[in-house]
Structure 1
C-alpha cells in the first residue's frame, strides 16, 4: 500500500555524508545523526545525497546504501526523508529513483545535468520526466542550483505547467539568489506545491515572496535558531524575524571570510554536534583548524553559548 503524500514544509536539513578517515561511507553515524537533528535542533525532515551530501563524489551504490539507512532509521523518528537522485547519467538517475521508492523514501529530487547541459527548459523537463516515471509513487521535486550546475534556465520556465507532463511533480528546491525568478515560480505554481528555498542567508526574503519551507546545510546546527525566525514571521513579527536573519547573516559573513564552503561546513557540524562526520572526499580538502575554531567560536556566540 502506497503512503499518502504529505506536503513538504518548514525546515529541512540537507545532510552531510559521514565518511571514515579513509574516505569510506560510515553508516554507523546515521542513527546518532538523526537523533541529534530531532533532539537538539528540532528538525524532523532531511534532504540527503544532495550538494551538502557530496552526492556527485559518491558512487551509485554508496548513494543507495545511504538512502536505505536514512529511510530505515527515519521510520518513527523523522517526518520526511527526501532523496536526491540526480546524476549525469539518465539511467543512473532512474535506478536511484526506483531504489528510493523501494527503500521507503518520502520524495525524490533531481538536479540538472551539468556536463552535457540541457539547451532549453523543454530539454530539462524531458530529462526530469524520464526520472519521475521510474518512481511515479513518490512526490517529485526539481532541484534548482545554477551556481553549481551552470545551467541558468529560469526555474519558472522549467516548472510552469510541468504537472501536465509529470503528475507526481510537487515542488522546487530553489537554491539561487534570484528572488524575481523565485517569486514567479510561486505565482505560477499550484497552491499545494512546496516552494523550498535554499539560500540560508536570505530565507526571510524568500518567505516574504511565498516560500513554504527551506532546505539548507546550516539547519543541521542552526535549526532551532532558524525555527524562531519562521515562528516570528508566521506571527507577523517582522522585527524579530529580521533580527534572527541578521544574526545568521552576520555568522555566515564571518564564516565566508574564513573560507566557508562544504569542507568547513562539514567540520563545523562535527565540532558542534560531536558527530564523527569525517573529511570531505577528494578533490575537496579540509580547512585549516584555526579557521574552523574561529568560526565555531562565532557560531557559539550567535547561539548565546560560552
Structure 2
C-alpha cells in the first residue's frame, strides 16, 4: 500500500462540554479533499485518540470513513495499552471500511527490544491479518525509540498485514535508511511537518501531518517546487512552515493552537481534552494577529 502526497492527521471535533461533535466532519473532509489531501489519519495524536474512550474512537472513525466515501484512503490509529482493546478497535476499523490501521506501541511499560515490539503488534493485529498495518513510530510521545531498520527487517515475518511505518521522529538519517530498506515493498510515511523538505531530499513521497489540515497549499507548494528542482522556492516555503510551527508551539502549546486555527477558518473543531488545555478567548484573538503577521492567510487556507 503506497500513499503519495499529504495525509492529514485529522482533529476529533468536540462540543464545549467535551462531547464529540461529529456533525462537522463531512464539511471538514470536503475541505481537505478540496485542498488536495491524499489521505486521512484518524484518531492519532492530533485526533486526541489516547484521550478518548474506545467507543468514541469508533464513532470518530465511522464518521470520517462515511464522509470520505472511498475517495481517499483512511488510516485508523488503534493503539492502546490494552492489546485486547487494540484487537477490538482493529476489527471495528475493518468492519466499517477503513483502508488501513496503525498503532503506537503500548507505552505504560514500554517495549525493551524490537522483538518485544513486534510481538506486541503481532498480538494486537492477529484478528485482522489481512488488514494493511502501519506502525506509528513517535518516540517523543511513546518513549520507545528502537531501531526502525531492524524493525523493518523483522516485522513482516510476524505481522501479515504489515505495509510500513508512520515515521514521526527527527532522525532524517534513519528515515533515509528505512526508505532504502523498504524499497518498493513497504511504505514509509514521514511525520514531521517542519522537516518535509529534508525528507523529500532523501526520498520521501508521502507524509502525515497535523498542519496539513490548515496549510495543505503550503506543503503541496513545497512538494511541487522540489519536483521541478526549484530549491530556493521550496526552502522559502518550508521556512514559512518552520516559523508557523515554532510560533504555535512557543505561544499556543502546539496542538491546542492547531485546533484553534480551524475555528478561525470557519471549521471549528471545539476545545481539547485535558490534559491538553484549549486556548482562552484572549489567546484566540492574539493567535489571529500572530497568523496575520506571518502572512498565514495569504499562503495557508483561505477563510
TM bucket normalised to smaller: over 0.9
> What is the CA-CA distance between 1:145 and the residue it aligns to?
0.3
The question of whether the paired residues in 2 share the 8 Å contact of 1:15 and 1:53 is answered with: yes
Q: 2:237 aligns with which of 244, 266, 285?
A: 244
Per-residue CA deviations over 1:198-256 (Å, capped at 9, x if unaligned) read 11001111111222200001000111221111122223332222221122112222333
The question of whether the paired residues in 1 share the 8 Å contact of 2:110 and 2:144 is answered with: yes
Closer, same or farther in 2 for the Cα pair 1:303/1:46, shift >3 Å?
Answer: closer
User: What's the counterpart of residue 254 of structure 1?
Assistant: 247
State the secondary structure of the residue aligned to 1:160: helix
User: What's the counterpart of residue 286 of structure 1?
Assistant: 278
Structure 1 segments unaligned to the other structure (5+ residues)? 1-5
User: What's the counterpart of residue 53 of structure 2?
Assistant: 59
| CA root-mean-square deviation | 1.8
User: What's the counterpart of residue 14 of structure 1?
Assistant: 9
Per-residue CA deviations over 1:3-37 (Å, capped at 9, x if unaligned) read xxx52221000000000111001111111111111
Q: TM-score, normalised by structure 1?
A: 0.92
The question of whether the paired residues in 2 share the 8 Å contact of 1:268 and 1:296 is answered with: no
Whole-angstrom distance in 2 between the partners of 1:191 and 1:96: 29
Matching of residue 121 in structure 1 with residue 77 in structure 2: no
User: What's the counterpart of residue 3 of structure 1?
Assistant: none
The question of whether the paired residues in 1 share the 8 Å contact of 2:217 and 2:301 is answered with: no
Between 1:143-152 and 1:229-238, the stretch displaced more is: 229-238
The question of whether the paired residues in 1 share the 8 Å contact of 2:93 and 2:101 is answered with: yes
Structure 2 segments unaligned to the other structure (5+ residues)? none
Whole-angstrom distance in 2 between the partners of 1:236 and 1:126: 43
Equivalent positions of 1:1-306 (< 5 A) are: 6-39=1-34, 41-76=35-70, 78-272=71-265, 274-287=266-279, 288-297=283-292, 298=294, 299-303=296-300
Closer, same or farther in 2 for the Cα pair 1:289/1:159, shift >3 Å?
Answer: same
